[in-house]
Structure 1
Amino acid sequence: MELIDLFLAFLKIGTFTFGGGYAMIAMIQAEAERHGWLTQEELVDFVALSESTPGPLAVNMATFAGMRTGGVLGAVIATLGIVLPSFIIILIIAKCFEKYKKSKAVGGIMYGLKPAVVGMIGAAFISVSRTVFFPSGISLSAFSSASFWVFLGLFAAAAILAFKKVHPIKIILLSAVIGVGAGYGMNL
Protein backbone atom coordinates (compact mmCIF):
# COMPACT_ATOMS: atom_id res chain seq x y z
CA MET A 1 0.00 0.00 0.00
CA GLU A 2 2.92 2.36 0.78
CA LEU A 3 4.27 1.98 -2.78
CA ILE A 4 0.85 2.77 -4.26
CA ASP A 5 0.62 5.90 -2.08
CA LEU A 6 4.13 6.84 -3.19
CA PHE A 7 3.23 6.47 -6.87
CA LEU A 8 -0.07 8.36 -6.53
CA ALA A 9 1.51 11.20 -4.54
CA PHE A 10 4.25 11.77 -7.10
CA LEU A 11 1.79 11.30 -9.97
CA LYS A 12 -0.30 14.10 -8.44
CA ILE A 13 2.77 16.30 -8.01
CA GLY A 14 3.84 15.68 -11.61
CA THR A 15 0.34 16.32 -12.92
CA PHE A 16 -0.60 19.49 -11.08
CA THR A 17 2.68 21.37 -10.83
CA PHE A 18 3.91 23.64 -13.58
CA GLY A 19 7.20 25.50 -13.61
CA GLY A 20 9.79 22.81 -12.96
CA GLY A 21 11.42 21.35 -9.89
CA TYR A 22 11.44 24.46 -7.70
CA ALA A 23 7.70 24.85 -8.15
CA MET A 24 7.28 21.22 -7.05
CA ILE A 25 9.19 21.55 -3.78
CA ALA A 26 6.16 22.87 -1.86
CA MET A 27 3.97 19.98 -3.02
CA ILE A 28 6.71 17.41 -2.39
CA GLN A 29 7.10 18.85 1.11
CA ALA A 30 3.37 18.66 1.79
CA GLU A 31 3.09 15.06 0.58
CA ALA A 32 6.26 13.92 2.36
CA GLU A 33 5.10 15.43 5.65
CA ARG A 34 1.54 14.14 5.26
CA HIS A 35 2.73 10.58 4.71
CA GLY A 36 5.66 10.81 7.11
CA TRP A 37 8.18 9.93 4.41
CA LEU A 38 10.62 12.76 5.19
CA THR A 39 11.20 15.30 7.92
CA GLN A 40 11.60 18.98 7.07
CA GLU A 41 15.36 18.70 7.62
CA GLU A 42 15.63 15.64 5.36
CA LEU A 43 13.69 17.47 2.66
CA VAL A 44 16.14 20.38 2.81
CA ASP A 45 19.03 17.90 2.58
CA PHE A 46 17.35 16.24 -0.42
CA VAL A 47 16.96 19.62 -2.14
CA ALA A 48 20.69 20.29 -1.66
CA LEU A 49 21.61 16.79 -2.82
CA SER A 50 19.26 17.00 -5.81
CA GLU A 51 20.82 20.28 -6.84
CA SER A 52 24.30 18.81 -6.77
CA THR A 53 23.53 15.71 -8.81
CA PRO A 54 22.87 15.60 -12.55
CA GLY A 55 19.29 15.59 -13.72
CA PRO A 56 16.10 17.52 -13.06
CA LEU A 57 15.51 18.57 -9.46
CA ALA A 58 12.03 17.06 -9.15
CA VAL A 59 13.10 13.72 -10.63
CA ASN A 60 16.08 13.54 -8.29
CA MET A 61 13.92 14.42 -5.29
CA ALA A 62 11.31 11.84 -6.23
CA THR A 63 14.02 9.22 -6.66
CA PHE A 64 15.61 10.05 -3.30
CA ALA A 65 12.28 10.15 -1.46
CA GLY A 66 11.23 6.89 -3.10
CA MET A 67 14.53 5.25 -2.19
CA ARG A 68 14.21 6.43 1.41
CA THR A 69 10.63 5.17 1.61
CA GLY A 70 10.61 1.96 -0.42
CA GLY A 71 14.15 1.11 -1.47
CA VAL A 72 15.02 0.63 -5.14
CA LEU A 73 11.44 -0.28 -6.07
CA GLY A 74 10.21 2.85 -4.26
CA ALA A 75 12.72 4.97 -6.17
CA VAL A 76 11.56 3.56 -9.50
CA ILE A 77 7.88 4.00 -8.61
CA ALA A 78 8.26 7.59 -7.36
CA THR A 79 10.34 8.53 -10.40
CA LEU A 80 7.80 6.98 -12.74
CA GLY A 81 5.01 8.82 -10.92
CA ILE A 82 6.63 12.21 -11.31
CA VAL A 83 7.68 11.86 -14.98
CA LEU A 84 4.63 10.04 -16.36
CA PRO A 85 2.33 13.12 -16.48
CA SER A 86 4.94 15.22 -18.29
CA PHE A 87 5.58 12.41 -20.75
CA ILE A 88 1.87 12.05 -21.54
CA ILE A 89 1.34 15.82 -21.76
CA ILE A 90 4.30 16.24 -24.14
CA LEU A 91 2.94 13.44 -26.34
CA ILE A 92 -0.46 15.15 -26.49
CA ILE A 93 1.07 18.57 -27.15
CA ALA A 94 3.28 17.18 -29.92
CA LYS A 95 0.23 15.60 -31.53
CA CYS A 96 -1.88 18.79 -31.32
CA PHE A 97 0.79 21.49 -31.64
CA GLU A 98 0.21 22.50 -35.24
CA LYS A 99 -3.53 22.79 -34.75
CA TYR A 100 -3.46 24.96 -31.61
CA LYS A 101 -0.13 26.83 -31.68
CA LYS A 102 -1.79 30.16 -32.52
CA SER A 103 -4.79 29.73 -30.21
CA LYS A 104 -5.46 32.72 -27.96
CA ALA A 105 -6.99 30.43 -25.33
CA VAL A 106 -3.82 28.32 -25.08
CA GLY A 107 -1.69 31.48 -24.93
CA GLY A 108 -3.96 32.89 -22.22
CA ILE A 109 -3.72 29.71 -20.16
CA MET A 110 0.06 29.72 -20.34
CA TYR A 111 0.17 33.42 -19.46
CA GLY A 112 -2.17 32.83 -16.51
CA LEU A 113 0.00 30.02 -15.16
CA LYS A 114 3.05 32.28 -14.76
CA PRO A 115 1.94 33.93 -11.47
CA ALA A 116 1.05 30.54 -10.00
CA VAL A 117 4.50 29.20 -10.84
CA VAL A 118 6.16 32.25 -9.28
CA GLY A 119 4.02 31.80 -6.16
CA MET A 120 4.91 28.12 -5.82
CA ILE A 121 8.63 28.83 -6.23
CA GLY A 122 8.32 31.62 -3.64
CA ALA A 123 6.52 29.29 -1.21
CA ALA A 124 9.27 26.69 -1.62
CA PHE A 125 11.95 29.34 -1.05
CA ILE A 126 10.29 30.61 2.13
CA SER A 127 9.66 27.11 3.47
CA VAL A 128 13.19 25.84 2.85
CA SER A 129 14.77 29.11 4.05
CA ARG A 130 12.77 29.03 7.27
CA THR A 131 13.91 25.49 8.00
CA VAL A 132 17.55 26.09 7.12
CA PHE A 133 18.13 29.53 8.59
CA PHE A 134 15.54 29.74 11.35
CA PRO A 135 15.00 26.17 12.62
CA SER A 136 14.01 27.45 16.09
CA GLY A 137 11.83 30.23 14.75
CA ILE A 138 12.64 33.83 13.98
CA SER A 139 14.15 35.65 16.93
CA LEU A 140 17.10 37.95 17.57
CA SER A 141 19.27 34.93 18.37
CA ALA A 142 18.64 33.57 14.87
CA PHE A 143 20.54 36.53 13.42
CA SER A 144 23.63 35.64 15.41
CA SER A 145 23.70 31.98 14.33
CA ALA A 146 26.39 30.70 12.01
CA SER A 147 23.88 29.57 9.39
CA PHE A 148 22.45 33.08 9.08
CA TRP A 149 25.89 34.60 8.47
CA VAL A 150 26.81 31.84 6.01
CA PHE A 151 23.58 32.56 4.14
CA LEU A 152 24.29 36.27 4.17
CA GLY A 153 27.83 35.66 2.87
CA LEU A 154 26.61 33.37 0.10
CA PHE A 155 23.90 35.86 -0.85
CA ALA A 156 26.46 38.68 -1.02
CA ALA A 157 28.82 36.52 -3.10
CA ALA A 158 25.98 35.59 -5.46
CA ALA A 159 24.99 39.25 -5.82
CA ILE A 160 28.57 40.24 -6.65
CA LEU A 161 29.00 37.35 -9.07
CA ALA A 162 25.76 38.27 -10.84
CA PHE A 163 27.38 41.48 -12.04
CA LYS A 164 30.84 40.12 -12.87
CA LYS A 165 31.98 37.61 -15.45
CA VAL A 166 33.23 34.66 -13.41
CA HIS A 167 33.72 31.18 -14.79
CA PRO A 168 31.08 28.74 -13.42
CA ILE A 169 33.74 26.29 -12.21
CA LYS A 170 35.21 29.00 -9.97
CA ILE A 171 31.76 29.69 -8.55
CA ILE A 172 31.18 25.98 -7.88
CA LEU A 173 34.58 25.58 -6.21
CA LEU A 174 34.09 28.71 -4.07
CA SER A 175 30.63 27.50 -3.03
CA ALA A 176 32.04 24.09 -2.14
CA VAL A 177 34.76 25.63 0.03
CA ILE A 178 32.24 27.89 1.79
CA GLY A 179 29.83 24.99 2.28
CA VAL A 180 32.47 22.65 3.69
CA GLY A 181 33.83 25.40 5.93
CA ALA A 182 30.35 26.28 7.14
CA GLY A 183 29.57 22.62 7.77
CA TYR A 184 32.67 22.14 9.89
CA GLY A 185 32.14 25.47 11.64
CA MET A 186 28.57 24.61 12.64
CA ASN A 187 29.57 21.21 14.00
CA LEU A 188 32.27 22.54 16.29
Structure 2
Amino acid sequence: MLRKDKFKMLFELFLCFFKIGCFTFGGGFAMIPLIEREIVTNKKWVTEEEVIDVFAVSQSLPGAIAINTSTFIGYKIIGRAGAIAATAGVILPSVIIITLIAAFFSIFNNNPVFEAIFSGIRPAIVSLILIAGLKIGKSSVKDKIGAIIMLSTLTLVTIFDVHAIIAVVGGALIGITIYKLFPKVSEKIVNTGGDKK
Protein backbone atom coordinates (compact mmCIF):
# COMPACT_ATOMS: atom_id res chain seq x y z
CA MET A 1 0.00 0.00 0.00
CA LEU A 2 1.34 3.47 -0.94
CA ARG A 3 2.21 5.84 1.89
CA LYS A 4 -0.55 8.30 0.89
CA ASP A 5 -3.16 5.51 0.71
CA LYS A 6 -1.99 4.13 4.05
CA PHE A 7 -2.31 7.52 5.74
CA LYS A 8 -5.79 7.96 4.22
CA MET A 9 -6.85 4.52 5.52
CA LEU A 10 -5.44 5.25 8.98
CA PHE A 11 -7.34 8.54 9.09
CA GLU A 12 -10.53 6.78 7.94
CA LEU A 13 -10.13 4.16 10.69
CA PHE A 14 -9.52 6.85 13.29
CA LEU A 15 -12.50 8.93 12.13
CA CYS A 16 -14.84 5.92 11.98
CA PHE A 17 -14.07 4.82 15.54
CA PHE A 18 -13.96 8.41 16.80
CA LYS A 19 -17.55 8.79 15.55
CA ILE A 20 -18.52 5.55 17.30
CA GLY A 21 -16.89 6.79 20.51
CA CYS A 22 -18.70 10.17 20.28
CA PHE A 23 -22.22 8.95 19.71
CA THR A 24 -22.52 5.94 21.95
CA PHE A 25 -23.42 6.10 25.63
CA GLY A 26 -23.68 3.17 28.05
CA GLY A 27 -20.42 1.31 27.52
CA GLY A 28 -19.26 -1.40 25.18
CA PHE A 29 -22.44 -3.42 24.67
CA ALA A 30 -24.41 -0.32 23.70
CA MET A 31 -21.74 0.35 21.05
CA ILE A 32 -22.23 -3.02 19.31
CA PRO A 33 -25.10 -1.97 16.95
CA LEU A 34 -23.22 1.19 15.91
CA ILE A 35 -19.92 -0.68 15.43
CA GLU A 36 -21.70 -3.31 13.34
CA ARG A 37 -23.43 -0.70 11.17
CA GLU A 38 -20.20 1.21 10.56
CA ILE A 39 -17.75 -1.64 9.88
CA VAL A 40 -20.12 -4.14 8.21
CA THR A 41 -22.83 -2.11 6.43
CA ASN A 42 -21.14 1.23 5.71
CA LYS A 43 -17.43 0.42 5.36
CA LYS A 44 -17.71 -3.31 4.48
CA TRP A 45 -14.40 -4.00 6.26
CA VAL A 46 -15.73 -7.32 7.60
CA THR A 47 -18.70 -9.59 6.90
CA GLU A 48 -21.62 -10.12 9.29
CA GLU A 49 -20.29 -13.58 10.19
CA GLU A 50 -16.80 -12.21 10.85
CA VAL A 51 -18.03 -9.39 13.09
CA ILE A 52 -19.82 -11.91 15.36
CA ASP A 53 -16.50 -13.73 15.80
CA VAL A 54 -14.74 -10.40 16.46
CA PHE A 55 -17.31 -9.56 19.17
CA ALA A 56 -16.93 -13.04 20.70
CA VAL A 57 -13.13 -12.76 20.85
CA SER A 58 -13.27 -9.15 22.09
CA GLN A 59 -15.69 -10.07 24.87
CA SER A 60 -13.60 -13.04 26.03
CA LEU A 61 -10.44 -10.91 26.41
CA PRO A 62 -9.69 -8.48 29.26
CA GLY A 63 -10.77 -4.91 28.59
CA ALA A 64 -13.79 -3.11 27.15
CA ILE A 65 -15.44 -4.79 24.15
CA ALA A 66 -15.46 -1.54 22.12
CA ILE A 67 -11.73 -0.99 22.61
CA ASN A 68 -10.87 -4.63 21.91
CA THR A 69 -13.06 -4.61 18.79
CA SER A 70 -11.52 -1.39 17.44
CA THR A 71 -8.00 -2.75 18.02
CA PHE A 72 -8.89 -6.04 16.30
CA ILE A 73 -10.51 -4.37 13.27
CA GLY A 74 -7.71 -1.80 12.92
CA TYR A 75 -5.09 -4.55 12.99
CA LYS A 76 -7.04 -6.64 10.46
CA ILE A 77 -7.33 -3.72 8.04
CA ILE A 78 -3.82 -2.27 8.11
CA GLY A 79 -1.73 -3.91 10.82
CA ARG A 80 -0.25 -2.39 13.97
CA ALA A 81 -0.68 1.23 12.82
CA GLY A 82 -4.35 0.51 12.09
CA ALA A 83 -4.83 -0.98 15.56
CA ILE A 84 -3.35 2.16 17.15
CA ALA A 85 -5.43 4.53 14.96
CA ALA A 86 -8.73 2.71 15.58
CA THR A 87 -8.10 2.36 19.33
CA ALA A 88 -7.11 6.03 19.66
CA GLY A 89 -10.27 6.99 17.76
CA VAL A 90 -12.63 5.08 20.04
CA ILE A 91 -10.91 6.17 23.28
CA LEU A 92 -10.39 9.88 22.55
CA PRO A 93 -14.06 11.04 22.85
CA SER A 94 -14.33 9.46 26.31
CA VAL A 95 -11.05 11.06 27.42
CA ILE A 96 -12.25 14.49 26.24
CA ILE A 97 -15.72 14.16 27.80
CA ILE A 98 -14.43 12.80 31.14
CA THR A 99 -11.80 15.56 31.32
CA LEU A 100 -14.48 18.23 30.72
CA ILE A 101 -16.83 16.68 33.29
CA ALA A 102 -14.00 16.48 35.85
CA ALA A 103 -13.10 20.12 35.19
CA PHE A 104 -16.70 21.33 35.55
CA PHE A 105 -18.04 18.70 37.97
CA SER A 106 -19.60 21.25 40.31
CA ILE A 107 -21.74 22.58 37.43
CA PHE A 108 -22.87 19.10 36.26
CA ASN A 109 -23.40 17.67 39.76
CA ASN A 110 -27.08 17.68 40.82
CA ASN A 111 -27.99 19.83 37.82
CA PRO A 112 -31.66 19.04 36.95
CA VAL A 113 -31.06 19.54 33.20
CA PHE A 114 -28.25 16.97 33.10
CA GLU A 115 -30.21 14.58 35.35
CA ALA A 116 -33.13 14.82 32.91
CA ILE A 117 -30.79 14.17 29.94
CA PHE A 118 -29.33 11.03 31.52
CA SER A 119 -32.73 9.75 32.67
CA GLY A 120 -33.71 9.78 28.99
CA ILE A 121 -30.44 8.25 27.78
CA ARG A 122 -30.53 5.23 30.16
CA PRO A 123 -33.66 3.53 28.69
CA ALA A 124 -32.31 4.10 25.15
CA ILE A 125 -29.09 2.32 26.15
CA VAL A 126 -31.07 -0.71 27.34
CA SER A 127 -32.74 -0.97 23.93
CA LEU A 128 -29.35 -0.73 22.14
CA ILE A 129 -27.97 -3.58 24.26
CA LEU A 130 -31.11 -5.64 23.58
CA ILE A 131 -30.80 -5.05 19.80
CA ALA A 132 -27.14 -6.10 19.93
CA GLY A 133 -28.06 -9.29 21.80
CA LEU A 134 -30.80 -10.19 19.30
CA LYS A 135 -28.54 -9.58 16.27
CA ILE A 136 -25.67 -11.60 17.70
CA GLY A 137 -28.07 -14.36 18.77
CA LYS A 138 -29.57 -14.58 15.28
CA SER A 139 -26.14 -15.02 13.70
CA SER A 140 -24.62 -17.24 16.42
CA VAL A 141 -27.36 -19.73 17.35
CA LYS A 142 -27.61 -21.93 14.26
CA ASP A 143 -28.89 -25.25 15.63
CA LYS A 144 -30.26 -27.08 18.70
CA ILE A 145 -26.83 -27.41 20.32
CA GLY A 146 -26.27 -23.64 20.05
CA ALA A 147 -29.74 -22.99 21.52
CA ILE A 148 -29.03 -25.35 24.44
CA ILE A 149 -25.67 -23.66 25.13
CA MET A 150 -27.32 -20.21 24.97
CA LEU A 151 -30.18 -21.13 27.32
CA SER A 152 -27.84 -22.94 29.74
CA THR A 153 -25.49 -19.95 29.85
CA LEU A 154 -28.40 -17.54 30.36
CA THR A 155 -29.68 -19.68 33.25
CA LEU A 156 -26.25 -20.05 34.88
CA VAL A 157 -25.41 -16.34 34.65
CA THR A 158 -28.81 -14.88 35.62
CA ILE A 159 -30.10 -17.40 38.16
CA PHE A 160 -26.97 -19.00 39.63
CA ASP A 161 -24.78 -15.87 39.30
CA VAL A 162 -21.98 -17.72 37.47
CA HIS A 163 -19.23 -15.35 36.30
CA ALA A 164 -19.31 -14.44 32.58
CA ILE A 165 -15.70 -15.61 32.08
CA ILE A 166 -16.61 -19.09 33.35
CA ALA A 167 -19.58 -19.13 30.95
CA VAL A 168 -17.38 -18.13 27.97
CA VAL A 169 -14.69 -20.71 28.86
CA GLY A 170 -17.42 -23.34 29.37
CA GLY A 171 -18.86 -22.59 25.93
CA ALA A 172 -15.40 -22.89 24.37
CA LEU A 173 -14.81 -26.25 26.10
CA ILE A 174 -18.18 -27.56 24.87
CA GLY A 175 -17.24 -26.45 21.33
CA ILE A 176 -13.87 -28.24 21.54
CA THR A 177 -15.53 -31.38 22.95
CA ILE A 178 -18.09 -31.49 20.13
CA TYR A 179 -15.31 -30.91 17.57
CA LYS A 180 -13.17 -33.75 18.99
CA LEU A 181 -15.86 -36.34 19.82
CA PHE A 182 -18.46 -35.59 17.15
CA PRO A 183 -16.63 -34.27 14.05
CA LYS A 184 -19.65 -34.78 11.77
CA VAL A 185 -21.87 -32.71 14.05
CA SER A 186 -19.17 -30.02 14.21
CA GLU A 187 -18.83 -29.98 10.42
CA LYS A 188 -22.60 -29.66 10.03
CA ILE A 189 -22.67 -26.64 12.40
CA VAL A 190 -19.83 -24.92 10.51
CA ASN A 191 -21.46 -25.60 7.13
CA THR A 192 -24.78 -24.25 8.38
CA GLY A 193 -23.00 -21.03 9.30
CA GLY A 194 -21.45 -20.87 5.85
CA ASP A 195 -24.83 -21.17 4.13
CA LYS A 196 -26.10 -18.10 5.92
CA LYS A 197 -23.50 -15.76 4.49
- Partner residue, 1:141: none
Are residue 131 (structure 1) and residue 139 (structure 2) matched? Answer: yes
Q: Secondary structure at the match of 2:104?
A: helix
Residues 21-60 of structure 1: pairs in structure 2 closer than 5 A: 21-33=28-40, 34-60=42-68
**Aligned 8 A contact 2:55 2:65 in 1:** yes
**Aligned 8 A contact 1:150 1:182 in 2:** no
- Partner residue, 1:7: 14
Relative to 1, partners in 2 of residues 1:64 and 1:159: Cα closer, same or farther, differing over 3 Å?
same
Relative to 1, partners in 2 of residues 1:154 and 1:182: Cα closer, same or farther, differing over 3 Å?
farther
**Uncovered stretches (5+) of structure 1, i.e. residues with no partner:** 135-144
- Partner residue, 2:176: 180
For residues 117 and 89 of structure 1, the distance between their equivalents in structure 2, rounded to whole angstroms, comes to: 18
Deviations 1:158-183 (A, max 9, x none): 31453336577765553332232345
2:45 partner letter: W
How many residue pairs match? The answer is 176
For residues 162 and 31 of structure 2, the distance between their equivalents in structure 1, rounded to whole angstroms, comes to: 30
**Aligned 8 A contact 1:23 1:121 in 2:** yes
2:19 partner letter: K
Residues 33-112 of structure 1: pairs in structure 2 closer than 5 A: 33=40, 34-112=42-120
Deviations 1:86-121 (A, max 9, x none): 000000000111222011111111110012111211
Deviations 1:125-176 (A, max 9, x none): 1221122225xxxxxxxxxx3xx43232332343145333657776555333
For residues 66 and 127 of structure 2, the distance between their equivalents in structure 1, rounded to whole angstroms, comes to: 17
2:23 partner letter: F
Are residue 152 (structure 1) and residue 159 (structure 2) matched? Answer: no
Identical-pair percentage: 35
Relative to 1, partners in 2 of residues 1:6 and 1:183: Cα closer, same or farther, differing over 3 Å?
farther
**Uncovered stretches (5+) of structure 2, i.e. residues with no partner:** 1-7, 189-197
For residues 17 and 35 of structure 2, the distance between their equivalents in structure 1, rounded to whole angstroms, comes to: 8
2:48 partner letter: Q
For residues 21 and 167 of structure 1, the distance between their equivalents in structure 2, rounded to whole angstroms, comes to: 18
For residues 151 and 128 of structure 1, the distance between their equivalents in structure 2, rounded to whole angstroms, comes to: 13
Relative to 1, partners in 2 of residues 1:70 and 1:113: Cα closer, same or farther, differing over 3 Å?
same
Relative to 1, partners in 2 of residues 1:176 and 1:87: Cα closer, same or farther, differing over 3 Å?
same
TM-score, with normalisation over the residues of structure 2?
0.80
TM-score, with normalisation over the residues of structure 1?
0.84
**Aligned 8 A contact 1:14 1:86 in 2:** yes
- Partner residue, 1:164: 160
For residues 15 and 153 of structure 2, the distance between their equivalents in structure 1, rounded to whole angstroms, comes to: 40
For residues 74 and 22 of structure 1, the distance between their equivalents in structure 2, rounded to whole angstroms, comes to: 22
